[in-house]
Structure 1
């Protein structure tokens, strides 16, 4: 009790310290700590402006971040947190070696008075991290709390050092903000550009067109060879950069809980139910014994885990309920207390019959069908079964269950019907709303009770025997394959296995299809000594209860573009290109140049003539999809009646004829459109600025080889 009392006395200082610890974690710590050992066998995790960033140097940035996290979280960071910390450390290095030289060239800085203003100045100028940390009881920023905290810090050398690092982080954050703002404020649009933007939005042409989509032809009408792919790749080289990547094939052996695991958990839950029934401190027991999502406090019915409420079983004070199975978790619930509340909730299910149209006979037909099903339900048919058969909305798959809901959620007639019911069961009449006719079942009648509950959840996890069984199966599979052909053959022979593929995996990737924690697999795949097409390897992924056997099928290098890397994309693009040629040649065969659009549509077959009004800034014509090329060709027609020859666009082949032009009217002031341009450019400036700087300084990231 004495310890708790002291904590309460120091609560204000403690909260501030925690908040500043979080700020320090977010902004950065020991930002100026650089250096480290170079040369020797120190691995290189990146390059910036030709300078190697060694593992040791990177670690000099990372370790303080880990220490800060451990201090404020009371535990060491897990792998997910480490990913975030490594990224933060890398961005700190990039800032110092890329942004800082540019900032210094411009003479930007943060003086003592400015730093003081960021800590204790006007609330509009105080740094957001400080603003969030030092608030009084009314929620307003308090300079007095900052001053009190600084006096407290002076008495603790370790905290004083951390505070200096925090200030350094604030200064660098302010420098980056100044640099970004300077670049954003350099954006400008001329009156001519404003006029052009206005015309792009308000100039229109009306056209008639025939459109033949590429998708209307089977791929078999054209033949695509590797030579075609090479030609297309060389023609559009800038669209297909070389990248380091691998392709994998793998099989997953699931580690599933055994019957023994289930029985052991059931016994644990029985013991926990007894402990929960007599516990004097329910909250402590819940926090200690829950695996994932412990709940403790007052909850409305719609917030209580599904399955706790039952039509036959009321929730009473002191009752222990469960275990309930929900998403592979077993849950125990204790009702600690019950009280009346001002808000009412009800749980209902329905079957909706929508009219086919707006006519009176459509409504009558829907009502007749609903009444027939209602009579079946009155005679004893299962409601959930009927809902799955006849339901016409998203609840049908759930047996019509709408869950718990309060007032002012459903349309008025429906709400009136369900909140008027005083007992569970089928309403003996149809409820008509603007959506149609509803058959309604009250699962739990309206209640204004709130429940103070304690919930313990336990995950049904596989035991060691289950792991051993899956591991043994994976080992046997691994021992029987030496190359990719064996790998595929063994999967075909075993119906319990599924061959999975991951194409073009990047070095820094952390997941592949079906595996969210595949970092170890990916890191292995990128090792130089890992062969291609042979020597598969085994990996355990305990976070997902899986054992994986993987083999590398392709490896790609950033030094050379390989058509296999882009094969799918190249094949799709060349197929479209050849289909375009095929369609245009067919247009020539039917002598489209000498025919009207209607005659072209008839002669070609299965296409129609359409009309569209198109603005200059559009990227599509009608419902033909993304076709900016076609928009450009439409505006290239000068005189009414002019027509294009058949041409290939992004999604198909067009023939267009100009019907009318609607030029944008002259206006006196284009400032509104200038502002639109500037605002758009300002929004994208930070991104393009960052990309440009990283290109200028040749930032290369090799972290994927190590983490």
Structure 2
């Protein structure tokens, strides 16, 4: 998922631009040819506000967006992510386009020129010119427009698309501005915002957990009560349509014969490396399946199998073959040459002093001295680094690996590391730049680079192995035609059956199957309950049977019985606890003593209105509100229910009000920004909710 997260975090704005290009290109094409906006026919992926979207056009939009990023096809997760982005942008564009036309918002000629080729280029045009010219300088832009035909046959076409998209975006910005300009924050609201962040209450609170009340004390929960609760909370128990399957997987992995073949191949490669007549670099380049085959490396860039043994390796040494995660590697050191830089290896334990008071810094220094003493007494450096070290290297036991003398990560201890004449602990604390270091030199300084021939070969199943697995899956599928036969055949032949439940239309995975769109499309396509089908997924064959479906709507009582029963039990337990507390008086400590050992008293000296949790009780907004509503010392709030936890009784010890600030502009602006963000999102939601969207992409992708 890392590539998806990267897109979300770093390319959110650009994604809208590129997807907009992709959509607009097809919209303009259809308009120019006087066709239906998105085409027609039976092969439609959906309909947005009456506009049909054909499968062909939608697939082309996604492909165009993928190409705009420079990403190749073949990554299922990325492709599905792009499909979702294109679809959502289609909804937004169609919805806004219709509303903007109704409002009559226009872009003047001067504004159009300025945003398309003037000093205030829109983000869309900036992206376009950067893509075509690598520049947004006015001279370059004007030269491009004057000679647009020289930039290829599609340049004018894509420029028109970008221009139209920029205008569309500007209209939308005006629409949003029309609403955000109406926002207003009063002085009282700004003062309240400030107070919620800086005023606080010092409270004691009594907590009685639900678990202290037995089920016998509240009685049974009846079906009628469950049904009544479900009817009153239908919106909370509405589900989308979903499907259930059972499946048997036939992984395609290298067989014993395949493993033996690869082992023999690597032995032959090693023999070739051992042959002095072999041109190692040429041979490695021709044989490796991954990597460069031959290169010159600093110690810090070598693979671990070499880096961890540099002091014993010599020219001509061969390391491997080694097998890890299905990949064979073998290395030969063909030469060792001088380096301009020095390299050493060390581990460190670092203690941060920055931001600490003098007293805290003194405590840190004492801890560092204790750790150094424990190392000298024989305790492991790595374990102590994991326990005590600050910074990024604590998880590696303090190991810095091979480091260059110019590396910033050792700047504070460079002299000690590279000046060491022998390995071992530097038996003193090193304090520099608000940090304290304990350093262990594991390899002294060298000035070498290494020429390495490297062959990497991934073990993959042979054709014979793949075919054998396919025949097993085919035999299974041929012998079953419904759910009962599927289960019986699997049980009789020793196959493990896996389940996939609540599979939605947009699901990418099913159980342990990560790329299962084929199965999802089948379930929501021609399949009926009891049907069996086989699938060729990445690295495995799968035979699946469609076992059940859940229709869109409110869940049945049986489906939610356990969940609602627990909710109703807690409601009754809350009333039981409140009733018992209601008969008691005094401070919360006195009430707790009278209630019994189930009631525990806690303190919190700084409860702010901005908080949402209370101590270890977790999310408790009602309790926070009650605490901040108290004004007189000794005053108690009414008992509050903390969802999933119990009941709390809060008593105020003291309240500290926020001092008068004088100027509350900062908080006015904070509230205005929050309101502006909400209004833009609410605007989008309101408009898209007013249009009818029929999403049938699941039938095709």
TM exceeding 0.5: yes
Whether the 8 Å contact between 1:135 and 1:141 is mirrored in structure 2 is no
Cα deviation digits, residues 287-331 of structure 1 (max 9, x gap):
xx645x669877654344332434257788999865554544344
Q: Does 1:575 align with 2:566?
A: yes
> The residue matched to 1:409 in structure 2 has which SS?
helix
Match of 2:29 in 1: 33
Whether the 8 Å contact between 1:620 and 1:626 is mirrored in structure 2 is yes
Match of 1:419 in 2: 418
Which moved further from structure 2: 399-408 or 576-585?
399-408
Match of 2:11 in 1: none
- 1:675-690 matches, cutoff 5 A: 675-690=669-684
> The residue matched to 1:623 in structure 2 has which SS?
helix
Whether the 8 Å contact between 1:590 and 1:604 is mirrored in structure 2 is no
Distance 1:23 1:587 in 2: 56
* Aligned pair partner of 1:539 in 525, 535, 557: 535
Distance 1:80 1:266 in 2: 34
Match of 1:46 in 2: 46
Distance 2:409 2:179 in 1: 48
Distance 2:455 2:180 in 1: 52
Cα deviation digits, residues 200-232 of structure 1 (max 9, x gap):
334433322111344778999986666554433
Distance 2:552 2:455 in 1: 51
Cα deviation digits, residues 612-650 of structure 1 (max 9, x gap):
232223212223210011123334446443334544222
Distance 2:289 2:142 in 1: 39
Q: Which runs of 5+ in 2 are unaligned?
A: 1-13, 352-361
Match of 2:524 in 1: 526
Distance 2:383 2:674 in 1: 49
Change in 2 beyond 3 A, CA 1:591/1:108 = closer
Distance 1:75 1:398 in 2: 35
* Aligned pair partner of 1:604 in 581, 587, 596: 596
Distance 2:572 2:630 in 1: 22
Whether the 8 Å contact between 1:646 and 1:654 is mirrored in structure 2 is yes
Whether the 8 Å contact between 2:284 and 2:454 is mirrored in structure 1 is no
Change in 2 beyond 3 A, CA 1:610/1:180 = same
Match of 2:231 in 1: 234
Whether the 8 Å contact between 1:62 and 1:89 is mirrored in structure 2 is no
Match of 1:122 in 2: 119
Change in 2 beyond 3 A, CA 1:125/1:560 = closer
Q: Does 1:673 align with 2:667?
A: yes
Change in 2 beyond 3 A, CA 1:583/1:128 = same
TM-score, with length taken from structure 1: 0.74
Which moved further from structure 2: 520-529 or 72-81?
72-81
TM-score, with length taken from structure 2: 0.75
Match of 2:63 in 1: 66
Cα deviation digits, residues 10-44 of structure 1 (max 9, x gap):
xxxxxxxxxx9x98677322332344599996044
Distance 1:488 1:220 in 2: 42
Q: Which runs of 5+ in 1 are unaligned?
A: 1-19, 375-382
Change in 2 beyond 3 A, CA 1:496/1:81 = same
Distance 2:620 2:500 in 1: 31
Distance 1:561 1:582 in 2: 26
Q: Does 1:467 align with 2:466?
A: yes
Change in 2 beyond 3 A, CA 1:106/1:268 = farther
Distance 2:541 2:70 in 1: 31
Whether the 8 Å contact between 2:247 and 2:544 is mirrored in structure 1 is yes
Distance 2:449 2:566 in 1: 63
Change in 2 beyond 3 A, CA 1:299/1:116 = farther
Distance 1:236 1:680 in 2: 30
- 1:284-303 matches, cutoff 5 A: 290=289, 300-303=298-301
* Aligned pair partner of 2:576 in 585, 589, 593: 585
Match of 1:16 in 2: none
Q: How many residues align?
A: 653
Match of 1:197 in 2: 193
Q: How large is the RMSD of aligned CA atoms in angstroms?
A: 5.1
